[in-house]
Amino acid sequence: MQKTERNKQNAQAFYELMFNDCKPREAAEQYVGSEYIQHNPLVGHGKEAFIRYFERMAVEYPGKRVTVKRAIAEGDYVVLHCQQEWPTDANKNWAGIDIFRFDPDGKVVEHWDVLQVIPEHAEHANGMF
């Protein structure tokens, strides 16, 4: 299997286990490398901070789901274009872009993201995805 395809599969499996299955520790053990550089300002740096954040999210936001709409890979990077559903949050639907950098073994070692609430009204009928 090509490295970029392996990384795309790993990014999606990581997201499924961490976000949808609410198992961030297992996700980190299986898919995160020895270092984990975080760029989201709401999540601490390193594996343990990531695990604590998503363990808390699983408790505070039951039923949260992510659906990957697109996965794009180039070199050591994978970009996921996702819809996030937070049924117990005031803002229930989000559009997000996650960027992951992988090490040579196919493990996540760095993460960036941008999120926006999906608005009730748009100036077009194209949708967010």
The residue count of the chain comes to 129
> What's the predicted TM-score (pTM) here?
0.93
Domains in the chain and their CATH numbers? 3-117 (3.10.450.50)
The arrangement of strands across the sheet holding 93-102 comes to: 32-38, 108-117, 93-102, 77-85, 65-74
Report the candidate in 17, 40, 20, 37 with the shortest Cα–Cα distance to residue 29.
17
Return per-residue pLDDT of the chain as tens, 129 residues.
Answer: 799 999 999 999 999 999 999 999 999 999 999 999 999 999 999 999 999 999 999 999 999 999 999 999 999 999 999 999 999 999 999 999 999 999 999 999 999 999 999 999 999 999 999
- Cβ atoms 21, 31 nearer than 8 A: no
